[in-house]
Amino acid sequence: MASSIKITLRNKPNKDGLFPIAIRITKNRKSTFIYTGHYIDKKHWDSKKTNVRKSHPNSVRLNNLIASKLAEAHKTLIDLQANDNVISSKQIKNQISNPLSSKSFNEIAKAYIEELKTNNKLTRMASDQVRINHVIEFSKSNDLQFREIDEEFLRRFMSFLKVKKSNSQRSIVNALVVIRTLYNRAIKMGVIERKFYPFGRDKIQIKYPETEKIGLSAREVEAIEMLTDLTTQEQHTRNVWLFSFYLAGMRVADVLKIRWSDVHDERLHYRMNKNEKILSLKLPKKIFPILAVYEVDKKRPHDFIFPEMKKADLKNLQDVLAKTKTATKKFNKYLVRLAEKAEINKKLTMHIARHTFGNISGDNIPIQTLQRLYRHSSITTTINYQANFIHKDFDEALDKVVNFGN
């Protein structure tokens, strides 16, 4: 059945006895109404011509408004029918009341954040929400339109992040990536035309800056292993850091979620938090003395090995994320002290355990093996990551040229 859109005066007066002018949308004999926000006395309404009589003092303005609203509604209906013949009166109403072209950056961003939350990507959700907030703060508007996000806007935004927010180049790039993601979504939804896309050749190009990944040497790890006279917190921090390093730089979020039931037959059987991959690793001998320290507190096979997650509300992923962040911050504070005691001049954090494994492994382990140890989905990721720690060829080439006198 064909859809129809008509203007009407609804028979539901307000407290002043005036009646609302509305657009009636009918599809499959089901009607829904969009109210214009204007009310008049019945005597000023011409039901045959469906317009406001000249007797009303603002008849010309109201009739112009009605004509405009009807034209917009009919245009929207035609667009909807061209793309999808199976639509309801409610769908038509929603699109007329809230057309895609009027959807703001903030509206698209909220839907994106909600999607991340639904998919339990809470770490990314938290970081991307901060980046979105920066865009809203810079624009000084909760109704920022995608048409306003052009090359000039983005260049000024980049300066804002660098000067006002003291963001690193990497952080600035991450913010641009979020904007690009939302812009692409807006294009697919029909909110903005692709011709306005501000990214790409001769426009705003997103290039990740090269970052130097520095890990500890084997000797520096030994220095940490041999430390004595540590406080209880320093000992605990060292245990967690070494546990991560011994298992190929396992991420701290995964380390803290390991349970005693994940360990059997001298292997670790575990599902990773980041990509849900299942891993099975033989436990190095150095890990068993660490496990022995915490086994005295073991009450049930399903208990966590480390204490940080024992009071977490495991049904609340945001609480788990918050406790992981708190624990990481605590560990990093004590790792600074451990570095000082071990006379290590390099930066020492939980994440450096991963860099350290890469640095010590160098080019001595087949790249396919490293891919499995790092739990990378793509071997290209492993190659790019490990390239930060392979210097042998460059060092030998430099020696051959410089040491010509030997």
* Predicted confidence (pLDDT) per residue in 269-278, tens digit: 877 665 466 7
105 closest CA partner among 165, 52, 157, 167: 157
Position 400 scores a pLDDT of 53
Question: The pTM is what?
Answer: 0.58
pLDDT at residue 91 in the model: 63
Angle at CA 118, nearest 5°, toward 115 and 121? Answer: 85
Fold classified for 218-361? hpI Integrase; Chain A (1.10.443)
Q: What is the DSSP letter of 318?
A: H
Q: Which CATH architecture has domain 102-196?
A: Orthogonal Bundle (1.10)
CA angle 249/295/325 to nearest 5° reads 45
Residue-wise pLDDT tens digits, 151-209: 999 999 999 999 999 999 999 999 999 999 999 998 888 788 888 999 998 899 998 87
The answer to whether 89 and 27 have CB atoms below 8 angstroms apart is yes
Contact 21, 43 (CB under 8 A): no
- Per-residue pLDDT band for 31 (boundaries 50, 70, 90) equals confident
Same fold? 102-196, 218-361: no
**Average pLDDT over every residue of 32-53:** 90
Residue owning tokens 């891919």: 371
| Residue ranges per structural domain of the chain | 4-98, 102-196, 218-361
Higher pLDDT, 48 or 31: 48
pLDDT class for 394, splitting at 50, 70, 90? very low
CA-based torsion, 19, 25, 31, 34: positive or negative: negative
Rounded percentage of the chain residues whose pLDDT exceeds 90: 48
